Structure 1
C-alpha cells in the first residue's frame, strides 16, 4: 500500500495536467515540499524564488518557480508572517518563538540579520509601510502592533503602537505601495471579523478607521487579507460568508465582493489587480481567479485527491501568492496524510 506522501509523489510526477471540465482546471505543475506546517508564502520575481514559512519546523523553505526546493533557512522557531522588500533583496520573517524579526538575503537564501523585538514580544505578522517595518505581536487578550526601522544600524523597536488596544490577538497585517503611509490589520480567526486602518506616515500608528463586522457582512473566522495595489480597498478571506469581501480603506464600508464558495481562506492580489481567492473546499474548486472589480471568476482550479480515498487535498490558509508579473500563481496544498505540495498555475487569468 502506498503511503500518502508516496502516493502524492506519484501523482505529482506528471508536469502537465489536463483540464477538469469547462471553466475548471488542475494545476499546470506541482511539487512535493518538505513542510510540516504552513504560515505564509511570498514570491520573489527578481530571483524567481518562492519562500514558504513552516512554523512547526522553524524554517523557511525556498523553491524555484518549478517548485524544486533550492534551500531552507532554519533556526526560525514559530516563523509565520513574511514580507519582501520593494527591491526584492530582503525577506523579513516574523519569528514568534525567538522574539525577533529575521532578515533573509533573497539572493543567497541565508539569514543576514536578526532584530530582537523584546522578551515576550514575539511577532506574528509583518508589513512594510511609511518607511518602517510593522509587526503584530501579543498573547491572547493583549494583541498589539510594533515597529522598527529596518535600514538602521541599530534599529529602535517601538511597541504598543495600537493605543486603542483594538485586537485580542496579534492581527494579520498588510500594506500597499498605492497607499504608502497606510497599514491595515485584521483579527485572525475572530467572529465577527474586526478590521482597522492606520495612518503610519508619521512613523507612529494613528487609527483612522475601525469596523467590527464590517459592512454588516464581515463574517467570521478571518484567515487572510490583502490591500489592493491602488491602495483603495482591502479584500478579506473569512470562513463565512462564502465570498471574498471588499472594503474601502477610508471607512471600511462594503465595496464589492469576489464570489467563491465554501470557507474562504486565502487571498492575494497581483500588481495588475488580478485577484486570486482561495477556499477550503473538499468537493468544489479551491482556487478562483478574478479580474479586478469583476465578481465572477475567469478561472477556477480544483485540487485533486492525492491521499486517503475520498479525502480531497485542501488549500492551506493564506496559501496563495502571485508572481509579480502575474505570469504564475502559486498555491500551497495539503493532503489527508499531511503531505504539502506547491501547485503552479501558468497564465491563470487567461481563459482557456
Structure 2
C-alpha cells in the first residue's frame, strides 16, 4: 500500500519515547539495537513509488512522472526494466505470484505482467474509474481505489474470471477525499479495508465482499479514533487487525477489524510513519518512518515488541516496504530529498 513519494523532511523532530500502549497500559518493548542497513542497489529510476517481491523477482515502480518499473533479483541486482508504462504507481501481485498488476493513473488503466517472462499479458481500461491508484485482490476480483479530484474518490472492480474482463465502478456508497487506500489478504477474501488518506482525522472503513464481488459497508473508525494524514495501511494475515501508518501520531495504530471504535494497540516508531506491511505468515510487521537521523524501518512482533530496526541513510519512500515470500527479508526503497536516484535495500529479518 502507498501514496505519493514524500521527498522533503522537516528540520524539526520531536523526541519520541520508546514504549507500547495496549488497552491504555504503557509497556516498554525490548529488542535488538538498530542495525546498519544492508548494502543497497542504486536503481535506474528518477523516482520510486512502490515495491513488491516474488521469490525470484523484486519490482519497483517509478511513479506518475516516469514510465518504468525496475526489476531486480532477490539480492537487489538489477535484471531489467518494464518500460512504456505511463506513470506506474501502485503494484500488486496475484496470490500465486505469477502476475504483477501495475496501476497507471495517468491513462486510467491497469497493466498485468507475467512475473516469469516479464511480458505484458493484459491491459485493463478503468473507464469512469479515473486515476486508479491503489490495488487489492480478492479471489478473481481486482479492486482499485480511484479518484483524481477532491471528494471524487471511490472503489472499482475488475472481474478477472470473465472474458473479456468486466469493469465496475462506484462500488462504495461513500465518497473519498482522494483515491482510497485498499487492503485485502488471501486468507480472508471476503474482507476489504479502505482508508481515507490526506485528511485529519483520517478514517478506515471495512467492507464485506460478496460472491458477486459487490461490496457491503460494515463499519468505520470512530471520529478522531485514527490519526491524521493516512499514508499506508495493512491488513493482518488473518484479517483480524488492520495497521495504520500516518503522519501523526508517531507510531503504528492497530484496530480490531471487528471493532473500529478505539485502537487496540499503538506501537511507537519515529516521526512521520509512512509505511506498514505484515509478513505473509503474520509473524512479523514491518513499519517505516520518514525520519531524519533516526531509524527508518522497524521489524516488530504482532504484540508490538520490537525485534530490530534499520537506518537507511535516506528518506524511506512512502509505502515502499515489501516482504520476501519466506519472511526472511524486507525490501525497502529510499530516496534523498535532493533527487538522487532511489536505492533498494535488502534488510535481513532475524528468525522468529
TM-score range relative to shorter protein: 0.7 to 0.9
- Structure 2: tracts of 5 or more residues without a match: 1-31
SS in 2 for 1:179: coil
Provide the C-alpha distance between the structure 2 equivalents of 1:174 and 1:120, rounded to a whole number of angstroms: 18
Q: Which residue of 2 aligns with 1:52?
A: 60
Provide the C-alpha distance between the structure 2 equivalents of 1:64 and 1:87, rounded to a whole number of angstroms: 18
Q: Which residue of 2 aligns with 1:35?
A: 45
The verdict on how the C-alpha distance between 1:166 and 1:197 changes in structure 2, with shifts beyond 3 A counting, is farther
Task: Establish whether residue 297 from structure 1 lines up as the match of residue 299 from structure 2.
Answer: no
Number of positions where the alignment pairs a residue of Structure 1 with one of Structure 2: 316
SS in 2 for 1:75: coil
Question: What is the CA deviation profile of residues 179-220 of structure 1, one whole-angstrom value per residue up to 9, with x for unaligned ones?
Answer: 21111111222211111111112310111111254xx44111
Question: What is the CA deviation profile of residues 95-136 of structure 1, one whole-angstrom value per residue up to 9, with x for unaligned ones?
Answer: 111211110110022211101111562211110015300011
Provide the C-alpha distance between the structure 1 equivalents of 2:155 and 2:179, rounded to a whole number of angstroms: 8
Q: Which residue of 2 aligns with 1:114?
A: 123
Provide the C-alpha distance between the structure 2 equivalents of 1:284 and 1:113, rounded to a whole number of angstroms: 42
Shift of 1:342: 0.4
- Structure 1: tracts of 5 or more residues without a match: 1-21, 305-312
Question: What is the CA deviation profile of residues 56-79 of structure 1, one whole-angstrom value per residue up to 9, with x for unaligned ones?
Answer: 212211111121111211222122
The verdict on how the C-alpha distance between 1:130 and 1:209 changes in structure 2, with shifts beyond 3 A counting, is farther
Task: Establish whether residue 149 from structure 1 lines up as the match of residue 142 from structure 2.
Answer: no
Q: Which residue of 1 aligns with 2:36?
A: 26
8 A contact 1:333–1:341 mirrored in 2: yes
TM-score scaled to structure 1, two decimals?
0.86
Shift of 1:139: 2.1
Q: Which residue of 1 aligns with 2:249?
A: 241
Provide the C-alpha distance between the structure 2 equivalents of 1:83 and 1:71, rounded to a whole number of angstroms: 19
Q: Which residue of 1 aligns with 2:346?
A: 344
Name the structure, 1 or 2, with higher relative contact order (CA <8 Å, separation 6+).
2
Match of 1:261 among 252, 270, 273: 270
Task: Establish whether residue 75 from structure 1 lines up as the match of residue 75 from structure 2.
Answer: no
The verdict on how the C-alpha distance between 1:345 and 1:120 changes in structure 2, with shifts beyond 3 A counting, is closer
Question: What is the CA deviation profile of residues 133-157 of structure 1, one whole-angstrom value per residue up to 9, with x for unaligned ones?
Answer: 0011122221000101123220111
Shift of 1:350: 4.4
SS in 2 for 1:97: helix
Shift of 1:225: 0.6
TM alignment of 1:117-266, pairs within 5 A: 117-118=126-127, 121-140=130-149, 141-162=151-172, 164-202=173-211, 203-211=213-221, 213=223, 216-253=224-261, 254-266=263-275
8 A contact 1:62–1:109 mirrored in 2: no
Provide the C-alpha distance between the structure 2 equivalents of 1:119 and 1:206, rounded to a whole number of angstroms: 21
Provide the C-alpha distance between the structure 2 equivalents of 1:283 and 1:220, rounded to a whole number of angstroms: 23
